[in-house]
Structure 1
Amino acid sequence: MRKLVLCLPLLATCLAAGAQLRVTHLTCEGLSDPLGVDNLHPRLGWELQEGGRGVLQTAYEVKVEKDKKVVWETGKVASDASVYVAYAGAPLVSAQGYSWQVRVWDNRGHTSPWSAKTFWRMGLLTPSDWTAQWIVPGVDNGNAPLFRKTFQAGKKIREATLFITVHGMYEARINGQRVGDAYLAPGWTSYNKRLEYQVYDVTGLLRQGDNALGVTVGLGWFRSPLGFPRVGDHYGKENGLLAQLELTYTDGTTERIGTGDTWKSSPGSILSATIYDGETIDTRLDKTGWDKPGYDDASWSPVALRDFPKTTLIATHNEPVRKHETFTPVSVITTPKGEHVLDFGQNLVGWVVVKISGKPGDSVILSHAEVLDKAGNFYTDNLRSAKAQDSYVLRGGEQVLEPHFTFHGFRYVRLDQYPGPVRLEDFQAVALYSDMPLTGSFHCSDTMINQLQHNIQWGQKGNFLDVPTDCPQRDERLGWTGDAQVFSRTATFNRNAHNFFVKWLQDVSADQTAEGIVPPVIPNVIDGVFGSAGWADVSTIMPWNVYLAYGDTQVLRNQYPSMKAWVEYIHKVSRNDLWNTGSHFGDWLYYSPADDNDGRAAVTDKYLIAQCFYAHSTQLLIDAARVLGRTEDVATYTDLLARIKDAFMHEYVTPNGRMVSPTQTAYVLALQFDMLPESLRAQAADRLVGNIRAYNNHLTTGFLGTPYLCHVLTRFGHTDVAYQLLFQDTYPSWLYPIKMGATTIWERWDGIKTDGTFETPGMNSFNHYAYGAIGDWLYRVVSGIDTYTDAPGYKHIVIKPHPGGRLTSAEATYAVNYGTIASSWIIAGGQFTLHVTVPVNTSATVYIPASSVDAVREGAGALSASAGVTVKGMEDGYAVVEVGSGDYTFSAPR
């Protein structure tokens, strides 16, 4: 096990900085040097670095320039705000670039130097800024046509910017080189209402003289068969392209090259490419040099113009999908059926890159799967109708093969056709996922829990592919709302999911019906719209979780109409404040014993669950209204909430506190959402524990009960039971899949049964993040990192670790808007030691497990003598202190 010295490198960095106050990590709209900002008042942020303790910003000064002329200068502003500082200068101009810098003052009397300048570029702010025209192939050019345009730059280019989007997916190329490193662009939104465009700095790809711009457009999510039933052309029937290249020459003049009737189109070598089935490429049909000037395109077809709307175009706010980790196969397996299968050792999402030499006409066919069956054979039944196969025909000689407009969820690849010897070094699996910055780490003394954290992280990577998908391998891959909301708090710890979730929540609003119903899938591509409890509540739960994690009031302001519309819908369909109508998924995939002779199946009444989420969404609406200053709504919905809870008590709870459904999930939701009066809560928690004991210390919860289970146990004094559930390694449990070889979170507690057989193939994903919501408890309870709602976004931090189980140590780091928080504890030699790092410009309340305040030491001295530490007293077995920024080491006898 690693020694718990996680804070020491950070401490060394701070000491090296000495007393020098510095400003780093400047962001605009949460991104570094973003291109395509369409907020007319973009929000700026920065981090402070300074050695010592208790450092706070007291003032800042921001300066923004355009073409070296100041367009906004704040002067010295007395404020501790270092995030979401909105631009308030001269009106910003479409497509123009701006540089900015900041300096700050602190409570020590220090003034920082001006930061280095950083940059943002505005997007195209109105539909009229798009002078380019939508184009489609003039004739049938297959489902991945090529588009091409040559042009001449008559002067030396100072800067060049490409604005581009498609109906489908695209790859753009200039003068033979790929534009950018984004994949599966433009991503997936509710296209008919919101279509993202991307912006690229392409200055380095262009030259004075002849140039060529080429774009391949695949079906993507726009036209691939999706949903239930699989329906193609969901958003349209043509591959459309809209692109606008803006050139600025060194003499200050400008030129614009846009899509229009001078472009040409041709079929390419991609014969088919769909989301579920994979890609087929005949490389003999490659048009070598098609993306360069001088190519003979006389045989290409003219394009056709289309009057597709430009009013739905929006700038891209979230990080793109990019290539990340690569894996070489750990082995090649010959299965009992005699098939050759590559094992990459990790269940991942992406595709395989193949280096190969062959003869013209040779074929390479790769099939993808997550697992091998009990006999060791390649298993694809759980993919349902998804073909999940990439096929290539070789042109001959040495080639590198990879797809463009599809993705697969897999650990194993079967070589259905492959010429020549199989060499492991010729294959490389590439992980694709949205490029959200890594923010969290968790590590402890137990290898199984560390593997659980690994699996949680890889479940998030594989399923955060521009939208939060439920699974990445079968004929589904949809943005199921319930899965996303239960995992949303865990997701914000592992990675900076702010922009990812803000983008997706706008699609939640876009696809919400006029009646307020939130479909179970966003973007909505399935038949039938109904508001299921715990799924549609994503409209209230996720905005609040994003607000807590990032302190962004704007997300509440943007989503408040959606939040309110959902609560009002429930209110409308409820009878006497009781929501007992409609269709609901309930506690999805809860545990039910195979032999249920004694009636122990953990079936929780779906309307009981619905009433709990009705209350929870109403409470979150009240909380959001309070933050936004909507006092009338606070009063209105506070009264409604009281009636909702009264209705719950009359319908689902006996006078002595027993639930109508005596299940773990029923007690968990009632306790988590404060459905019971305080006088009944302790005994309800005891009944929950009794239920767990009745199942031999196993959980029985499904998607809706599991995320809150351990939190409820901890809240009501049963952390020991929560740890027993965490460490349980027989089915059903979090560690059972790990014993069975899982490298990601499974959809079902028993996706692979103890005898090696599988759960029903109709619904059995081995990469499905919902049960990974336990990660939130690992961060917030085991390591103890949390935020207070009076200063969300970790401006006011909680550090309250809960040691327990067989753990002797745990450590976590979490990079927030202000810097990196660290909490690591170890039990050794009868001593509990807690290391804490608090970022500059924040404060923290720290809880140290101890018998008394006098028993606690900080560093080498008494707690009472520690500089920068304010002792608050004892609380439930913890010594409580307040601290400012800096590094601290607390210890007490254990």
Structure 2
Amino acid sequence: MRRTGWFSSSDPLLDRLHENVVWSMRGNFVDLPTDCPQRDERLGWTGDIQVFAPTAAFLYDCAGLLGSWLQDVAAEQHDDGTVPWYVPSIPGWKPEPGAGWGDAAVLVPWALHQRFADADLLRRQWPSAAAWADLQHRLAGDDHVWDGSFQLGDWLDPTAPPDDPANGLTDPHLVATAYYARSAAVLAAMAAELRFEQEADLSERASLARNGFRSRYRTGPGRLSSDSQTAYAIAIMFDLLDPEEEAAAGRRLAELVREADDHLTTGFLGTPVLLDALTRTGHLDVALALLQQRTAPGWLYPVTMGATTIWERWDSLLPSGEVNPGDMTSFNHYAFGAVADWMHRTIAGMSAAAPGWRSIRYRPGFDTGVTAAQAACDTPYGRASIDWSRTEDLVKAEIRVPIGAEGLLQDPAGGTEVLPPGLHRRSWTVESET
């Protein structure tokens, strides 16, 4: 695969973390997206790539590899719509439908579309995506709550026992119902993109799923039956709360992080949306405290322990230097590396504002605790980049918009400037941090 995305900053630990993400992707994207390249597994686990796809599509041109793998997903899919937990699957094994894992049939094609604007891929994967979403709809029943089968849930929540990684803080059926709503909404968006007549029905389904989630798991304004970081982060980022509830949920999420001494308590499904949920609800300071946490569980703990790849568990290597006693302990698992997507968008401050990077959002992350950051991505239109630095009360930025695209530059005061293709230099005076 061709490298297409880069990130660096003034913080060497964050740069090492990002490099670890890159190396874990390189070690696992060999013909198919495996969970780990070692031990007796090396399988194409669907949940891992479901959460990592946005990061993967920024770092490398993985459209061919993941497009091919998605065809395998469709080929392995069962007649009732069930997507195996890993693809290729082991013959003779019939898995139960798993939320967050089976949703790869919907969410990975959508992530690739955001990066590459390939409507043909969406059209090709539509039968597979629709079959999975239809299965979720049937399993949720008349109350639109998916609660009748085993779920992996927020796998590897660090509070779960080492020998029972599915037994975390968050009700797995809350997670399943949230994913039912999410896939319904994304499938409706796919239908709109492809101009399919099912859009209206799917939008109605997404609304029913959202109402089912709220009826079962909402216990008060901005409060959920699972009072956990994962529950609030997923509810916020999957648009399952009304605006005033979202603000309250964001406050509770920030409180939970502070109560955990700025540590995360999220697993495979909660972690990728955690920092975004805090940022979206006005708690960037808490998100940064989480990212900068150097003790376990946290992203920088493995870095301080000498890691050169992303680990499967937050503490795959214990502070004593002993290997975690759990049955599964991999030192090369890219799933928790999904945080790199947030780093690109928030610290460097560059993201796609339209499928295929036709429109590009720039917002220098001058308030993210670093004094400089850079990101570049080879988009379908050419290279887009941002390079900013801060000294006391002055922020300088150099922004490149590729030919055929437009830039949307948000300045520190919140204003937006439309940028034509080309190289642009800007500077702003901001309030000093001292």
- Where has structure 1 moved over 3 Å in runs of 4 or more? none
Output one character per residue of 1:99-154: Cα deviation in whole Å (capped at 9) or x when no partner.
xxxxxxxxxxxxxxxxxxxxxxxxxxxxxxxxxxxxxxxxxxxxxxxxxxxxxxxx
Number of residue-to-residue matches in the alignment: 424
Max Rg structure: 1
Q: Match for residue 176 of structure 2?
A: 610
TM superposition shift of 1:645 = 1.3
Q: Secondary structure at the match of 1:517?
A: coil
Answer yes or no: is 1:449 the counterpart of 2:9.
Answer: no
Q: Secondary structure at the match of 2:214?
A: helix
TM superposition shift of 1:593 = 7.6
Matches within 5 A, 1:234-245: none
Output one character per residue of 1:447-477: Cα deviation in whole Å (capped at 9) or x when no partner.
0001001100000000001100001110000
One-letter amino acid matched to 1:779? H
Answer yes or no: is 1:580 the counterpart of 2:147.
Answer: yes
Matches within 5 A, 1:341-490: 436-490=1-55
For normalisation by structure 1, the TM-score amounts to 0.47
Q: Match for residue 298 of structure 2?
A: 733
Q: Match for residue 879 of structure 1?
A: 415
Q: Which has the higher contact order (CA 8 A, sep 6+)?
A: 2
Output one character per residue of 1:6-47: Cα deviation in whole Å (capped at 9) or x when no partner.
xxxxxxxxxxxxxxxxxxxxxxxxxxxxxxxxxxxxxxxxxx
C-alpha distance in 1 between matches for 2:366 and 2:428? 13
Q: Match for residue 426 of structure 2?
A: 890
Q: Secondary structure at the match of 1:544?
A: helix
C-alpha distance in 2 between matches for 1:657 and 1:445? 37
**Which one of 314, 318, 340 corresponds to residue 749 of structure 1?**
314
C-alpha distance in 2 between matches for 1:829 and 1:537? 45
Matches within 5 A, 1:510-529: 510-525=75-90, 527-529=93-95
Q: Secondary structure at the match of 2:8?
A: strand
Structure 1 residues 593 and 525: CA distance shift in structure 2, 3 A:
closer
Output one character per residue of 1:760-815: Cα deviation in whole Å (capped at 9) or x when no partner.
252000000000000100111211211123xx110111112333343000001111
C-alpha distance in 2 between matches for 1:821 and 1:788? 12
RMSD of aligned Cα (Å): 1.4
8 Å CA contact 2:347, 2:368 repeated in 1? no
Q: Secondary structure at the match of 1:473?
A: coil
TM superposition shift of 1:892 = 0.5
Answer yes or no: is 1:538 the counterpart of 2:104.
Answer: yes
Answer yes or no: is 1:832 the counterpart of 2:400.
Answer: no
TM superposition shift of 1:570 = 1.0
Answer yes or no: is 1:704 the counterpart of 2:249.
Answer: no
One-letter amino acid matched to 1:449? L
Q: Match for residue 202 of structure 2?
A: 637
Structure 1 residues 684 and 893: CA distance shift in structure 2, 3 A:
same
Q: Match for residue 662 of structure 1?
A: 227
One-letter amino acid matched to 2:403? V
Q: Match for residue 129 of structure 2?
A: 563
One-letter amino acid matched to 2:275? C
Bigger fraction of residues in helix: 2
TM superposition shift of 1:684 = 0.4
One-letter amino acid matched to 1:794? W
Q: Secondary structure at the match of 2:203?
A: helix
Q: Secondary structure at the match of 1:744?
A: coil
C-alpha distance in 2 between matches for 1:460 and 1:662? 33
C-alpha distance in 2 between matches for 1:685 and 1:843? 32
C-alpha distance in 2 between matches for 1:440 and 1:461? 13
8 Å CA contact 1:724, 1:805 repeated in 2? no
Q: Secondary structure at the match of 2:357?
A: coil
TM superposition shift of 1:650 = 1.3
C-alpha distance in 2 between matches for 1:801 and 1:762? 43
C-alpha distance in 2 between matches for 1:778 and 1:446? 12
Q: Which ranges of structure 1 fall in alignment gaps of 5 or more residues? A: 1-435, 596-600, 850-876
C-alpha distance in 1 between matches for 2:147 and 2:249? 23
Structure 1 residues 797 and 514: CA distance shift in structure 2, 3 A:
same
Output one character per residue of 1:266-293: Cα deviation in whole Å (capped at 9) or x when no partner.
xxxxxxxxxxxxxxxxxxxxxxxxxxxx
Matches within 5 A, 1:130-529: 436-525=1-90, 527-529=93-95
For normalisation by structure 2, the TM-score amounts to 0.95
8 Å CA contact 1:723, 1:804 repeated in 2? no
Answer yes or no: is 1:715 the counterpart of 2:280.
Answer: yes
One-letter amino acid matched to 2:152? F
**Which one of 583, 590, 600 corresponds to residue 157 of structure 2?**
590
One-letter amino acid matched to 1:885? P
C-alpha distance in 2 between matches for 1:674 and 1:723? 23
Q: Match for residue 243 of structure 1?
A: none
One-letter amino acid matched to 2:425? T
C-alpha distance in 2 between matches for 1:766 and 1:674? 34
Q: Match for residue 335 of structure 1?
A: none
C-alpha distance in 1 between matches for 2:215 and 2:392? 53
Q: Secondary structure at the match of 2:107?
A: helix
C-alpha distance in 2 between matches for 1:492 and 1:573? 31
TM superposition shift of 1:575 = 2.2
Output one character per residue of 1:245-301: Cα deviation in whole Å (capped at 9) or x when no partner.
xxxxxxxxxxxxxxxxxxxxxxxxxxxxxxxxxxxxxxxxxxxxxxxxxxxxxxxxx
One-letter amino acid matched to 2:286? V
C-alpha distance in 1 between matches for 2:70 and 2:154? 23
C-alpha distance in 2 between matches for 1:803 and 1:613? 34
C-alpha distance in 2 between matches for 1:784 and 1:647? 35
Structure 1 residues 555 and 594: CA distance shift in structure 2, 3 A:
closer
C-alpha distance in 2 between matches for 1:646 and 1:593? 29
C-alpha distance in 2 between matches for 1:514 and 1:776? 34
Q: Secondary structure at the match of 1:878?
A: coil
**Which one of 812, 815, 822 corresponds to residue 385 of structure 2?**
822
C-alpha distance in 2 between matches for 1:457 and 1:473? 17
C-alpha distance in 1 between matches for 2:36 and 2:321? 22
One-letter amino acid matched to 2:322? T
Answer yes or no: is 1:786 the counterpart of 2:322.
Answer: no
Q: Match for residue 313 of structure 1?
A: none
Bigger fraction of residues in strand: 1
One-letter amino acid matched to 1:584? Q
C-alpha distance in 1 between matches for 2:68 and 2:326? 33
Identical-pair percentage:
39
Q: Which ranges of structure 2 fall in alignment gaps of 5 or more residues? A: none
TM superposition shift of 1:586 = 0.5
One-letter amino acid matched to 2:361? V
One-letter amino acid matched to 2:284? T
C-alpha distance in 2 between matches for 1:584 and 1:455? 29
Deviates further, 635-644 or 735-744: 635-644
8 Å CA contact 1:798, 1:844 repeated in 2? yes
One-letter amino acid matched to 2:120? Q
One-letter amino acid matched to 2:121? V
TM superposition shift of 1:594 = 7.7
Answer yes or no: is 1:692 the counterpart of 2:277.
Answer: no
